Chains A and B, each alone.
Chain A
């Protein structure tokens, strides 16, 4: 297997990682925002439900969450597509979403507490409902203040996609393993190459967050 073939293998692995990451990121941001909203809601049932979910899932190892999704869901006959590779992809993104959403929610909640109380009071005073106050006034400001810590959570998500390799997913780590199997003589360069690939992806993300932070800064 020559260099070009290895590169092709890695590129398709990177593409697999990006797919897992992107889908899980969207899911985690949506679910995390909902959980954060529930945690500050005036309804005690919602608050309790959200904090229970966060406490349970956040304190479970991601590998175990993956096991629940990849083995538990098929056992319960919950499937999402005809092919096993597509099912594995959905199970992995579900696990990543469920797990990362907790961290997104906690980060956002700390952001919400930095938004001055007067902002929400003013929103309520012009007749916005709780949901509108949250969506229009509080969350947009909370998101802007937590861009740096949210960035760390999202970079952790990128790296956590590697666990999906153990659950029948084609991504960077599985590509590396396959490459090592055929070219064992290159094991050290392959390991470094994989690390470099993650590093480049994470650095690109970091640049995006830096840009967003500068672009969306709120003057007070």
Chain B
């Protein structure tokens, strides 16, 4: 008994144990069996004759960060957008927190309020100030009072580092600042999961990191995230799994280190050789 205890103590006290991402508490907690937060089952999507998503199956657990990569036209953005039904699917099913995605209407709006979405083009409301952008959802959907919503919004803007711009309009901010506001706008709804649809693709290179830093922070806090991106650095730093898509199919799912150092499929090898030698 004493032996076991002492071994356990040693085990927990070993600092190197926590430094290894693979055995971190977060990873262990994640692997523990829990129902998936987002479940995509047998999803097919056609645009006319074009088969955009082919037999997609993907489960995302709570606190998990999944990065979706792949060549353009591979369906990764489409997949991301089907999760909050900005794109409809032809067949299959998508559930969030055990609930089937409803058809258009109040129920869908309610569900979408729990799913944050960050767009490539930021899509901040052009006629509203930064502060109004962040408070609109909480006031109209969560029915917060204006004062309460503004207090929360200022805290979020503080966190993403644009609080001093609160009274400006989106067009007066840089791309990186706009995208951070867009993240704050999503966070204001206290979402269960956040979707990022190429959040840094429209940014100047020097602004990419300020947005990625916010995203890494979110991942470290345990936000469940689906991130469509070309940022391999982010995938390595924050992702638990990398989903590689090509031609509307999921070709490979692996842990980031595994995927980047030892891709299994020729399609992934080809893709990686092209982007890593860029």
From residue 165 to 220 of chain A, which have CB atoms closer than 8 A to chain B? 218-220
Question: For residue A125, which residues in chain B have a CB less than 8 angstroms away from its CB?
Answer: 84, 86, 112, 115-117, 119, 186
A sample of 8 inter-chain contacts (CB < 8 A) reads A121-B123, A126-B117, A126-B185, A126-B189, A127-B112, A127-B141, A137-B127, A141-B127
Question: For residue A218, which residues in chain B have a CB less than 8 angstroms away from its CB?
Answer: 126-127, 171
**Per DSSP, are chain A's interface residues mostly helix, strand or loop, or mixed?**
helix
From residue 41 to 65 of chain A, which have CB atoms closer than 8 A to chain B? 42
Q: Establish whether residues A126 and B112, one from each chain, have CB atoms under 8 Å apart when the complex forms.
A: yes
Q: Establish whether residues B113 and A126, one from each chain, have CB atoms under 8 Å apart when the complex forms.
A: yes
The answer, yes or no, to whether B104 is at the interface (CB within 8 Å) is yes
**Given A122-B119, A125-B112, does the pair A137, B84 have CB atoms closer than 8 Å?**
no
Q: Establish whether residues A129 and B109, one from each chain, have CB atoms under 8 Å apart when the complex forms.
A: yes
Give A residues with C-beta under 8 Å from B: 42, 116, 118-119, 121-130, 132, 136-137, 140-141, 144, 218-220
Question: For residue B169, which residues in chain A have a CB less than 8 angstroms away from its CB?
Answer: 219
CB proximity of A42 to chain B, nearest CB, Å: 6
Question: For residue A119, which residues in chain B have a CB less than 8 angstroms away from its CB?
Answer: 123, 125-126
The answer, yes or no, to whether B124 is at the interface (CB within 8 Å) is yes
CB proximity of B83 to chain A, nearest CB, Å: 11
Q: Which residue of B lies closest to A219 (CB)?
A: B171
Q: Establish whether residues B172 and A121, one from each chain, have CB atoms under 8 Å apart when the complex forms.
A: no
Q: Establish whether residues B171 and A127, one from each chain, have CB atoms under 8 Å apart when the complex forms.
A: no
**Given A125-B84, A125-B112, A219-B126, does the pair A118, B119 have CB atoms closer than 8 Å?**
yes
Q: Establish whether residues A126 and B136, one from each chain, have CB atoms under 8 Å apart when the complex forms.
A: yes
Question: For residue B189, which residues in chain A have a CB less than 8 angstroms away from its CB?
Answer: 126-127
Q: Establish whether residues A118 and B140, one from each chain, have CB atoms under 8 Å apart when the complex forms.
A: no
Q: Which of A42, A122, A128, A141 contacts B109 (CB 8 A)?
A: A128
Measured in the bound complex, the distance between the Cα atoms of B29 and A199 in whole Å is: 76
Measured in the bound complex, the distance between the Cα atoms of B182 and A41 in whole Å is: 26
Best-surrounded residue of A118, A124, A126, A144 (most CB of chain B within 10 A): A126
Question: For residue B109, which residues in chain A have a CB less than 8 angstroms away from its CB?
Answer: 124, 127-129, 132
Q: Establish whether residues B126 and A42, one from each chain, have CB atoms under 8 Å apart when the complex forms.
A: no
CB proximity of B128 to chain A, nearest CB, Å: 8
CB proximity of B114 to chain A, nearest CB, Å: 8
The answer, yes or no, to whether B253 is at the interface (CB within 8 Å) is no
The answer, yes or no, to whether B110 is at the interface (CB within 8 Å) is yes
**Given A42-B104, A118-B121, does the pair A126, B186 have CB atoms closer than 8 Å?**
yes
Fill in one digit per residue for B87-116: 1 if any A CB lies within 8 Å of its CB, else 0. 000000000000000001110011111111
Q: Which residue of B lies closest to A43 (CB)?
A: B104
Question: For residue B141, which residues in chain A have a CB less than 8 angstroms away from its CB?
Answer: 126-128, 132
CB proximity of B200 to chain A, nearest CB, Å: 16
Q: Establish whether residues A121 and B112, one from each chain, have CB atoms under 8 Å apart when the complex forms.
A: no
Fill in one digit per residue for B149-175: 1 if any A CB lies within 8 Å of its CB, else 0. 000000000000000000001111000
The answer, yes or no, to whether B71 is at the interface (CB within 8 Å) is no
CB proximity of B92 to chain A, nearest CB, Å: 21
Q: Which residue of B lies closest to A117 (CB)?
A: B123
Measured in the bound complex, the distance between the Cα atoms of B235 and A46 in whole Å is: 46
CB proximity of A190 to chain B, nearest CB, Å: 46
Q: Establish whether residues B127 and A144, one from each chain, have CB atoms under 8 Å apart when the complex forms.
A: yes
Measured in the bound complex, the distance between the Cα atoms of B81 and A121 in whole Å is: 10
CB proximity of A123 to chain B, nearest CB, Å: 7
Q: Which residue of A lies closest to B168 (CB)?
A: A219
Measured in the bound complex, the distance between the Cα atoms of B127 and A220 in whole Å is: 9
The answer, yes or no, to whether B36 is at the interface (CB within 8 Å) is no
Best-surrounded residue of B86, B124, B185 (most CB of chain A within 10 A): B86
From residue 178 to 193 of chain B, which have CB atoms closer than 8 A to chain A? 182, 185-186, 189
CB proximity of B107 to chain A, nearest CB, Å: 10
Measured in the bound complex, the distance between the Cα atoms of B117 and A207 in whole Å is: 42
Question: For residue A144, which residues in chain B have a CB less than 8 angstroms away from its CB?
Answer: 127
**Given A118-B119, A124-B112, A126-B112, does the pair A220, B126 have CB atoms closer than 8 Å?**
yes
CB proximity of A1 to chain B, nearest CB, Å: 53
CB proximity of A186 to chain B, nearest CB, Å: 51
Question: For residue B140, which residues in chain A have a CB less than 8 angstroms away from its CB?
Answer: 128, 132, 136
